[in-house]
Amino acid sequence: MLVAALDTATLVLSCALVDLEPGAPPRLRCERTEHAPAKGPASAERRRHRAEGGPTRPPGGHGARLPGALSDLLVAEGLKLPDVEGYAIGLGPGSFTGLRIGLATWKGLAYANRRPIAGASSLAAMALAARPGVAEGAILVPLLDARKGEVYAGFYRAEGEGIARVAPEAALPPAALAERVAGLGPAAVAFGEGLAAYPEPLSAVPRLSTPLLTPPAWAVAALAAERLLRPFDAQALFALEPHYVRPSEAEVKFPHGLGPGAQRA
Query: pLDDT tens digit string along 62-98?
Result: 777 888 999 999 999 999 999 999 999 999 999 999 9
CATH code of the region 126-197:
3.30.420.200
Calculate the CA 180 to chain-centre distance: 23
When pLDDT is averaged across residues 37-46 and rounded to a whole number, the result is: 48
**Whole-number mean pLDDT of the chain?**
88
Q: Provide the pLDDT for residue 23.
A: 85
Calculate the CA 149 to chain-centre distance: 20
Fold identical between 2-122+215-253 and 126-197?
A: yes
Q: In what side-by-side order are the strands of the sheet with 188-191? A: 162-172, 150-159, 139-147, 188-191
Of the candidate CATH numbers 3.30.420.40, 3.40.1160.10, 3.30.1330.30, 3.30.365.10, the domain formed by 2-122+215-253 belongs to 3.30.420.40
Domain ranges across the chain: 2-122+215-253, 126-197
Report CA-CA distances (Å) from 137 to 122, 158, 161, 185. 21, 5, 11, 11
Q: Provide the pLDDT for residue 260.
A: 60
- For residue 136, count other CB atoms closer than 10 A to its CB: 10
CA distance 39 to 60: 9
Query: Whose CA is closest to 9, among 167, 171, 227?
Result: 171
CA distance 238 to 111: 9
Question: pLDDT tens digits for 94-151?
Answer: 999 999 999 999 999 999 999 999 999 999 999 999 999 999 999 999 999 999 999 9
Q: Provide the pLDDT for residue 246.
A: 86
